[in-house]
Amino acid sequence: MHAPPPEGFRYLAGYFDPAAQRALVEAVRGIVKEAPLYRPSMPRTGQKLTVRMTNCGALGWVSDVTGYRYQPLHPVTGGPWPAMPQALTDLWAEVSDFPHPPEACLVNYYAPDARLGLHVDADEGEKRAPVVSVSLGDTAVFRLGGLSRRDPTRSMRLVSGDVVVLGGTARLAYHGVDRILPGTSTLLKEPGRINLTMRR
Ligand code: MD6
Ligand code: FE
């Protein structure tokens, strides 16, 4: 049997119904029009991630050869990030157990062959606030570990409409996306997956 997930991990299956998912995809299309997806580079190596990214909200998470950081401007267009959709700030208010609204929402887009290595979300100023995520489109094989990279991990499937909260001890747990399962959803026009993560 698997060990229980770290305290503060919450998995809210089917949080958004299909109509709410469609509305969120429309909102993401608007965001991407204003703030195009791009492939960030990893610090030091300069290697490109396979996931394409953009942001909404006051701040956005960016990565380039000099490191990871939050900044108010899109690294390619130089413009401000679009506003965060109300549905996301409402979700945060409902599940974050934190008294202030999110400042940043990272938009991850996975084409069928994209993946995201095991990582900790550690660049945020406020570690008492959780990171809250929404999955849209094709199912992801998500891996959740512990506080050390060597800790045992468990694999779970994140389906369109699911919400994950990493708070408490789980806030600094290792996690990643092994792969997506193309063709498991018809929400998007093409096979692929969107993941939205809100932070402070
Ligand atoms: C993804 N998610 O599902 C990647 N981070 O595509 C994350 O990296 C993540 O789902 C922090 C909290 C929840 C998450
Ligand atoms: Fe993460």
Averages of pLDDT over runs of 10 residues in the chain (200 residues) are 86 98 98 98 93 98 95 98 98 98 98 97 96 98 97 97 98 98 97 98
Q: Ligand 2 centroid to 194 CA: how many Å?
A: 13
Which pLDDT value is given to residue 24? 98
99 burial type by CB count under 10 A (0-12 exposed, 13-18 middle, 19+ buried): exposed
Of all protein residues, the one whose alpha carbon is nearest to atom 13 of ligand 1 is 133
Q: Report the alpha-carbon distance of residue 160 to residue 14 in Å, rounded.
A: 7
The two three-digit tokens of residue 67, written as one number: 């490191």
Strand stretches in 20-110, DSSP E: 52-56, 60-64, 67-71, 104-110
**Cα(11) to centroid(ligand 2), Å:** 14
> Does the C-beta of 194 come closer than 6 Å to ligand 1?
no
Which pLDDT value is given to residue 100? Answer: 97
Q: How far does residue 185's CA lie from ligand 2's centre (Å)? A: 22
Shortest-distance ligand to the CA of residue 132:
1
What amino acid occupies position 165?
A: V
Cα of 90 vs centre of ligand 2, distance in Å, is: 20
Contact (Cβ atoms closer than 8 angstroms) between residue 187 and residue 23:
no
**Contact (CB, 8 A) for 11 and 164:** yes
pLDDT at 1: 56
Residues in Cβ contact with 179 at an 8 Å cutoff, skipping those fewer than 6 apart: 115, 140, 141
- pLDDT at residue 149 in the model: 96
- Please tell me if the CB atom of residue 116 comes closer than 6 angstroms to any atom of ligand 1: yes
Give yes or no for residue 153 CB within 6 A of ligand 1: no
Q: CA-to-CA distance for 9 and 167, rounded, in angstroms?
A: 6
**Cβ 131 under 6 angstroms from ligand 1:** yes
CA distance 160 to 173: 22
Q: State residue 44's pLDDT score.
A: 87
- Which amino acid is it at 16? F
- Distance from Cα 168 to the centre of ligand 2, integer Å: 15
- Residue 122 region by backbone torsions, left for phi larger than 0, else alpha for psi between -120 and 50, else beta: alpha
Q: Of the bound ligands, which one is closest to the alpha carbon of residue 96? A: 1
* Residue-by-residue DSSP string for 175-190: EEEEEEETTS--SSSS
